[in-house]
Amino acid sequence: MSAQLNPDEIRKRIARRIALELESGMVVNLGVGIPTLIQDFLQPNHGVFLQSENGLLGMGPTPPDDEFDMDLISASKHPITLEPGASIFSSSDSFAMIRGGHIDVAVMGALQVSERGEIANWSIPGQDILGVGGAMDLVASAKTMMIAINHLTKDSKPKLVRNLSYPTSGIRFAQKVIDGGERIFIENSRMILREIAPDCTLEEISATTEAHFEVAEDLKTMPVTPHAMGSGIA
């Protein structure tokens, strides 16, 4: 699937597609990894308020190299900018915003997602992963969760599984999953394939997805190029 694309292009494709999901007025937390590419793929005047766990509402795109300031960073610890009207606050205020239910959408990476939408995104059994960050706070309290992932793990195993075999991040469920080849909605504990990338086939997706999923009657082609998404997107 998408064999001609390098990993970096696939990450950008996912970030671009998720940018289209975000609507004006939403407060959206961007987690570590692919999600913190999204600020560079929003339309001008998008009206989305990007929240960063390290204490920022109103995150803007990556600055040019000569304007980097490591005192102004995203959750991935990459330099970013401030949108007009941005505010900066402490980590405790930031997590009060997260845990108090004030985040409309949390976009996060995952190691596995079960077919019901359970999320495993902090630990792999037998591996030295000593980090949880804000993942469990977001899973416990964000109004909705959108998962931005590569389709397969680094050792080519399905990330979309029937049941989690990695430790769960909480007891709440994700609503959407977007990877390089597909856009899936999770409704009533069922995965429904809504879009498929033009360079993927249903057979490929079925062969590389352990989770049961249904195919939407009106299955659409995922817009993957800047051109297909309308002008003005990077």
Partner 1 sequence: MIEVVHSQKLKTAQEAVERIQDGDSLLVGGFGLTGTPFTLIDTITEQDRARNLTIISNNLGEAGKGLGKLLNSGHIRKAVGSYFTSNRDAVQAWSRGELEIELIPQGTLAEAIRAGGAGIAAFYTKTGVGTSLGAGKEERVFCGERHLLVEGIRAKVAIIRAYKADTLGNLVYFKTARNFNPVMATAADLVIAEVDEIVEAGQLEPEQIVTPHSYVDILVINDRYEKVGGTYVERSVEPG
Ordered DSSP codes for 87-118: EE--HHHHHHHHHTT--SEEEE--SEEETT--
Q: Segment contacting partner 1 (CB under 8 A): 20-28, 90-98, 151-159, 181-189?
A: 90-98
Q: How far is the CB of 68 from partner 1 (least distance, A)?
A: 4
136 touching partner 1, by CB under 8 A: yes
60 touching partner 1, by CB under 8 A: no
Out of 9, 53, 67, 203, the active site residue is 53
53 is catalytic: yes
* Shorter beta-carbon distance to partner 1: residue 128 or 218: 128
Rounded to an integer, what distance in angstroms lies between the CA atom of residue 134 and that of residue 149?
17
Q: Compute, in degrees rounded to 10, the torsion defined by CA atoms 26, 29, 35, 39.
A: 60
- CA distances to 139, 146, 148, 172 from 17, in Å: 22, 12, 10, 24
Q: Which of 9, 23, 47, 68 binds partner 1 (CB under 8 A)?
A: 68
3 touching partner 1, by CB under 8 A: no
Contacts of 21 (CB under 8 A, 6+ apart): 105, 146, 176, 178
Taking residues 38 to 57 in sequence order and writing x for each that binds partner 1 by CB under 8 A, - otherwise, the string is: --------------xxxxx-
Q: Segment contacting partner 1 (CB under 8 A): 19-27, 86-94, 206-214, 217-225?
A: 86-94
72 touching partner 1, by CB under 8 A: yes
114 touching partner 1, by CB under 8 A: no
Rounded to an integer, what distance in angstroms lies between the CA atom of residue 18 and that of residue 182?
11
Rounded to an integer, what distance in angstroms lies between the CA atom of residue 24 and that of residue 16?
16
Residue whose structure tokens are 């339309």: 43
Q: Is 6 exposed, middle or buried (0-12, 13-18, 19+ CB in 10 A)?
A: exposed
36 touching partner 1, by CB under 8 A: no
Q: Segment contacting partner 1 (CB under 8 A): 12-20, 149-157, 169-177, 222-230?
A: 169-177
For residue 80 the two structure tokens come to 């970013």
- Binding-site size, partner 1 (CB under 8 A): 44
Q: Segment contacting partner 1 (CB under 8 A): 14-22, 125-133, 194-202, 206-214?
A: 125-133
Applying CB under 8 A, the residues found at the interface with partner 1 are: 52-56, 66-73, 77, 79, 82, 88-92, 94-96, 98-99, 123, 128-137, 140-141, 167-171
Catalytic residue set: 53
